Amino acid sequence: MHSIEVYEVVKKLVGSIVPVGETNEDDRRFDNLKVMTDLVNRLLTDIDYVAYNHKDSYEFSRKRAGKFASEFFDEIGVKE
């Protein structure tokens, strides 16, 4: 499965997060936003674990994963 497919599945499961200016619908979308931000937080925590614990590893595959995760944080502007 490719990342774009995963993205589309998550969007369908969570639902829209964009407010439309109607109170009842925006309440649902706000709940969706809370779900989405919690998911992103958990994903970033998982990626941070890989970056922190494996970027200086001696094993090639661990070091590669750690370096990739660390560079991802650099790309999005998150510094250690």
Domains in the chain: boundaries: 51-80
State how far the Cα of 80 lies from the Cα of 59, in Å rounded to an integer.
22
pTM more than 0.85: yes
CA angle at residue 41 from 37 to 42, to 5 degrees? 120
Q: pLDDT by residue (tens digit) across 25-48?
A: 999 999 999 999 999 999 999 999
Residue spans of the chain under pLDDT 50: none
* Count of positions (residues) in the chain: 80
